[in-house]
Amino acid sequence: MSLLEVKGIKAYYGQIEALHGISFALAEGEITAVLGANGAGKTTTLRAICGMVRTTGQVMLEGENVVGMSTEKIVARHKIAHVPEGRGTFTRVTTEENLRLGAFTRRDKEIEQDYERVYHYFPRLKERRSQQAGTLSGGEQQMLAIGRALMLRPRIMLLDEPSFGLAPIITEELFRILAQINREERVSMLVVEQNANLAINISTTAYLLETGEVAMSGPAKDIMNDEQVRKSYLGY
């Protein structure tokens, strides 16, 4: 059974249908990339999984259809951590309070030691632990967003354009750490990216979205070698 299976979902902003019946699956422990140009529906797909946009169809998480369930309930029940577009930093509170918020649904006693786990991946955050989060740099805020997601001890992480607005050197480091987190924490990941090269490199499976539909899918290596994809999305 797939950890996450999406069957024929349509998503709506008001009257406008933004996704026209998308299906895909995310296998346990894998990284799956969702590629596509602007407006292809990548962000909407992630929002639909988390119940943040009106959706029809089926989103099966661990065998349960979560369409129609509230966002906070989906998060709490299925340990699904969404790192949103624009990072979703709680700007008015400190770095460490942001991390604490990530663990909001947890009731165990190990929250304190999980700060250290996050700092192990992102030592920069430790230096900034008591700083107001709104004053962190873009890269640091992206690290914080991923750190906050880790604090949930997620089974699945949804990452919406982690490279957005970051210098290439930071982006590369970020993806290296994402791959490391995937290995060490056994977290399955669904990565939405415009920077197809980066995403495909760490992924096993890839989906290509075009105007709200799945245009192509398969093992990341095959997608990467497809002539059409290379020309349109990889640029060589």
Partner 1 sequence: MDLFIEQTVSGIASGAIYACLALAVVMIYQAIDHFNFAQGEMAMFSTYIAWWMIDPTAGLGLPFIVAFFACIAVSFIGGAAIERIVFAPIANAPVLSHIIVFIALFSIFNSLAGFLFDFTPKQFMTPFTHDPLIEGIVSYHRAGMVLVTLVMLALIYVFFRYTPVGLAMRAAAAAPDSARLVGINVGMMLSLGWGLAAAVGAVAGMLIAPITFLTPDMMLGTLLYGFAGAVVGGLTSPFGAVVGGFLVGIVENLMGTFVVGSQLKLTVALVLIIVVLLVKPAGLFGRVVVKRV
* List 23, 60, 90, 173, residue binding partner 1 (CB under 8 A): 90
* List 39, 134, 168, 218, residue binding partner 1 (CB under 8 A): 134
Q: Is 135 in the site for partner 1 (CB under 8 A)?
A: yes
* List 2, 23, 132, 217, residue binding partner 1 (CB under 8 A): 132
Residue 91 vs 225, nearer CB to partner 1: 91
To the nearest 10 degrees (0 to 180), the angle between helices 138-150 and 168-185 is: 10
Q: Is 76 in the site for partner 1 (CB under 8 A)?
A: yes
Q: Is 75 in the site for partner 1 (CB under 8 A)?
A: yes
DSSP 56-71: EEEEEETTEE-TTS-H
Give me the residues paired with residue 56 across strands: 10
Please return the burial class of 10, using the count of CB atoms within 10 Å of its CB with bins 0-12, 13-18 and 19+.
middle
CB 191 within 8 A of CB 162: yes
Residue 13 vs 211, nearer CB to partner 1: 13
104 to each of 61, 97, 111, how far by Cα in Å? 21, 10, 10
Q: Is 154 in the site for partner 1 (CB under 8 A)?
A: no
In whole angstroms, how close is the CB of 141 to partner 1 at the nearest point? 8
Please return the burial class of 236, using the count of CB atoms within 10 Å of its CB with bins 0-12, 13-18 and 19+.
exposed
Per-residue interface string for the shown chain with partner 1, residues 17-56, x marking contact by CB under 8 A: ---------------------------------x-x----
CA distance 95 to 126: 9
Q: Is 105 in the site for partner 1 (CB under 8 A)?
A: yes
Residue 79 vs 203, nearer CB to partner 1: 79
Q: Is 13 in the site for partner 1 (CB under 8 A)?
A: no
Q: Is 213 in the site for partner 1 (CB under 8 A)?
A: no
The helix (run of H) or strand (run of E) holding residue 33 is: strand 31-36
In whole angstroms, how close is the CB of 70 to partner 1 at the nearest point? 8
Q: Is the dihedral of CA 206, 161, 54, 2 positive or negative?
A: positive
Q: What is the contact surface with partner 1 in residues (CB under 8 A)? A: 50, 52, 70-72, 75-76, 81-82, 84, 88-93, 97, 100-102, 104-105, 132, 134-138, 148, 152
